Structure 1
Amino acid sequence: MSESDTNTPIYIPIDLQINTLSRLPVKSLLKFRCVSKLWSSIITSQNFQKRQLKIASSEAAPRLLIAFQDFYRRKLTIVSSPNPNASLSSSTSCCVVPYKDLSLLNVKGKKVYNAGRGLICVGGYTNVGLCNPSTRQLHAFPDYKFKDYPTVFPRPKYMFGYDLVEDQYKVLAVDDLPWRLEHKVIVLYGASRKDTYPPDSNSIIVSFDVRLETFDIIKVPSKILSMHYENMWIVRWMDPTDKILINYRGKIGVVEKPRKGSFRMWVVQDAENEEWSMKSFHLPQSAHGLDFNVMDTFYTGEICLVPKQLSDPFRLFFYNLDRKSMRSVTIEGLPMSELMRFRDVSVTVSDYYESLMFF
């Protein structure tokens, strides 16, 4: 080989470059923006971002996104972790996620509302915005104001969704005080009718169509409520709900928090005809003494159970609704000694795909 041959640059077709780059981790792509102007323009383009997210969500398992929420200090510690898919054949299966695979991020705010397409909606009653944990970007929204109550402190709940047709992200804010029912322009959320007395006498489920920006109401039949209960979402007067809405095989599911080693799940089979089904589940004997919060269903079809009492190392439990078995996941390396000093800490867990989505 002559000297001129060794100095000849290798030509790589642009399509091959894009195809290769789109399969790299987000952390690498952020660094590769500095390689050349060409790569920077490719990586920061919207078409490439959509391509990268589509490949990531179709060819790889999602990561776990764990948020430790300190209500009083308004601090969020967000952890991105590999999503270990242990063998589900055994009810005692467990696995460990080491520290080297974790990514930690601190964000100002009180809670994580929901995650989707590589973004999360974070904040509290104020300081709300969309955050990309992978790129560490945060886009803040103006504080919520009610036109009819401009001087009254608002208490909205926020949720966001994606309109695939218009390629738009939309955030829904709903005030949760019974005497102020107002929304601005998803997801499903439990609610009660405000035009009845007492105001909690009719349980409903409200859905928001992100594309059409319209609401739909699903009635909760009284026959499925426990005896002496008038509302599915309230355990006792003014107590928070002990149930959570989940996606169960594409249908609306309602799961209650486990008590004394068991829990129930209701599934909406036919909303129009008020046809619901109910199943009971039992935890392994080893988990009977633990108090859990219920997260949504995950890509494995399991629901995630988070112990209310934090431990070091941190542990999660995944319950398989089909096999009626449970596995545990231990995540090592988290600063649990600091997190356990929070005065009022709560934890949320969700599936999460890393993306390059910029604002």
Structure 2
Amino acid sequence: MQIQNQLWSSVIASQEFRNHHLNIASSSPTPRLLIAFEDFYGAKLPVVSIPNPNVVLSFSSYKDLSMVNIKGKIVYNAGRGLICVGAGFENVGICNPSTRQVHNLPDFKFKQTQIVCPRPMYIFGYDPVGDQYKVLALDDLPWRLEHKIVVLGGEETWRESPCVACPHVVCTKGLYMNGTVYYGAFMKDIDSPYISIIVRFDVRFETFNIFKVPSKLVPVGYEFMWKERGWSPTDKTLFESLINYGGKIGVVESPRVCGFRLWVGEDAEKEEWSMSTLHLPESYVGVDFEIMDTFSSGEVCLVSKEWSDPFRLFYYNLEKKSMRSVAIEGLPISDFKKIQALSVTVSFHYESLLSL
């Protein structure tokens, strides 16, 4: 019996079994949702996993997966059942919410200046060929333009990953899709002070490719299209996030009073984009929304900045031009409202057995 138990234990702990389990989980048409309540000044990161309400209109239960003890509480991006979390300056790590494990990566320092401290953006990705998880660190100061990368496992030391052919400054969080990570950025040019771009980073080969953004996406009166971190536009629209729209890159503008637009890169290399306008139903006009992501149902997930109890997710159906809300009861909303610097991220979640 002991030998048999050891055999089963070795099978379950094997890399092949973990990958097979994740492949089965990720093929599910209704993956769970992971909601992270980011408290930059707090001590814990509440992470909640709930059933994906593609069909279910409301529910009252949720699974509290973890209170992750990692300083800072920023969720940078997610992929393959893991999330990349950090403090904004250091203490970055990879968390497996299913196993409640956090793997802290070694600290590093960007080149210091006497004017501004480094503000790196971390982006997590996976190389399916080499079966390696990597984290890319990007400095957002235009006079440094540093890029570093670390591979999970082994020595885990940060090394340079320069983008010599197209130096750029990161502006958005990263989006992982099928061995590639994407993010919004800008680069300088001789003829123009700033050029808005979308960067595609191949996780396996560690190469950067640039997609120029059509000029019609850049708001009139702005040098570039991306919303600056920590700043909210008033009368003009800026873009603040990239989303996965059926395997294509989607760019969502900051919602206005009565709606917003979604641009989809039908062929980013040829700069062919389609645009959809999302008109909010009359009952939701004036609500201050944030865009989270799009789901396989073709719906766009939104969260109101004015939280209510119970906490709600809002789903906009692009085809039907309709909107529905889903209540998630049991969350300590009254405690969350006391936190001044709190934000929410919502992403797909697949259960992973990966041991960190």
CA-CA distance at 1:318 after TM superposition: 1.4
SS at match of 1:216: strand
Is residue 223 from structure 1 mapped to residue 185 from structure 2 by the alignment? no
Distance 1:139 1:74 in 2: 17
Q: Deviations over 1:194-231 (max 9, x none)?
A: 456985x3211111111211111111122333332331
Aligned counterpart for 2:183 among listed residues 167, 189, 199: 189
Letter in 1 for 2:221: H
CA-CA distance at 1:257 after TM superposition: 2.3
Greater shift in the superposed pair: 244-253 or 125-134? 244-253
Task: Compare CA radii of gyration and give the structure with the larger one.
Answer: 1
- The equivalent of 2:163 in structure 1 is none
Q: How many residues of Structure 1 are paired with residues of Structure 2 in the alignment?
A: 317
CA-CA distance at 1:259 after TM superposition: 0.9
Distance 1:129 1:53 in 2: 21
- The equivalent of 1:350 in structure 2 is 347
Is residue 113 from structure 1 mapped to residue 82 from structure 2 by the alignment? no
Asked whether the equivalents of residues 65 and 98 of structure 2 are also in contact (C-alpha less than 8 Å), the reply is no
Distance 1:75 1:284 in 2: 36
Asked whether the equivalents of residues 299 and 351 of structure 1 are also in contact (C-alpha less than 8 Å), the reply is no
Is residue 96 from structure 1 mapped to residue 96 from structure 2 by the alignment? no
Superposed CA RMSD in Å reads 2.6
Distance 1:210 1:261 in 2: 39
Distance 1:352 1:281 in 2: 26
Asked whether the equivalents of residues 196 and 202 of structure 1 are also in contact (C-alpha less than 8 Å), the reply is no
Aligned counterpart for 1:135 among listed residues 83, 99, 104: 99
Distance 1:129 1:210 in 2: 18
Q: Mind listing any 5+ residue stretches in structure 2 that lack a counterpart? A: 150-179
Is residue 211 from structure 1 mapped to residue 204 from structure 2 by the alignment? yes
- The equivalent of 1:170 in structure 2 is 134
Q: Which structure dedicates a bigger proportion of its chain to helix?
A: 1
Distance 1:129 1:238 in 2: 26
- The equivalent of 2:304 in structure 1 is 307
Greater shift in the superposed pair: 316-325 or 229-238? 229-238
Asked whether the equivalents of residues 65 and 100 of structure 2 are also in contact (C-alpha less than 8 Å), the reply is no
Q: Deviations over 1:46-78 (max 9, x none)?
A: 222112111222246211100001112253111
CA-CA distance at 1:249 after TM superposition: 2.8
Letter in 2 for 1:184: K
Letter in 2 for 1:318: Y
Q: Deviations over 1:114-149 (max 9, x none)?
A: 111111111122111111001111110011322x43
Letter in 1 for 2:241: I
Greater shift in the superposed pair: 188-197 or 126-135? 188-197
Assess, with a 3 A threshold, how the Cα gap between structure 1 residues 339 and 133 changes in structure 2: closer, same or farther: same
SS at match of 2:58: strand
Is residue 254 from structure 1 mapped to residue 251 from structure 2 by the alignment? yes
Distance 1:165 1:192 in 2: 30
Letter in 2 for 1:179: W
Asked whether the equivalents of residues 96 and 332 of structure 1 are also in contact (C-alpha less than 8 Å), the reply is no
- The equivalent of 1:276 in structure 2 is 273
CA-CA distance at 1:39 after TM superposition: 3.2
CA-CA distance at 1:235 after TM superposition: 7.4
Q: Higher relative CO (CA 8 A, sep ≥ 6), structure 1 or 2?
A: 1
- The equivalent of 2:287 in structure 1 is 290
Distance 2:219 2:93 in 1: 38
Aligned counterpart for 1:319 among listed residues 311, 316, 320: 316
Is residue 145 from structure 1 mapped to residue 109 from structure 2 by the alignment? yes
Aligned counterpart for 1:122 among listed residues 78, 85, 88: 85
TM-score, normalising length from structure 2? 0.81
Asked whether the equivalents of residues 72 and 343 of structure 1 are also in contact (C-alpha less than 8 Å), the reply is no
SS at match of 1:68: strand
Distance 1:230 1:329 in 2: 38
Q: Deviations over 1:223-262 (max 9, x none)?
A: 3333323311147996575432122233222111221121
TM-score, normalising length from structure 1? 0.81
Identical positions, percent: 61
Distance 1:74 1:178 in 2: 32
Letter in 2 for 1:42: V
- The equivalent of 1:155 in structure 2 is 119
- The equivalent of 1:86 in structure 2 is 55
Asked whether the equivalents of residues 189 and 195 of structure 2 are also in contact (C-alpha less than 8 Å), the reply is no
Asked whether the equivalents of residues 299 and 315 of structure 2 are also in contact (C-alpha less than 8 Å), the reply is yes
CA-CA distance at 1:265 after TM superposition: 1.4
CA-CA distance at 1:299 after TM superposition: 3.0
SS at match of 1:97: coil
Distance 2:221 2:20 in 1: 52
SS at match of 1:105: strand
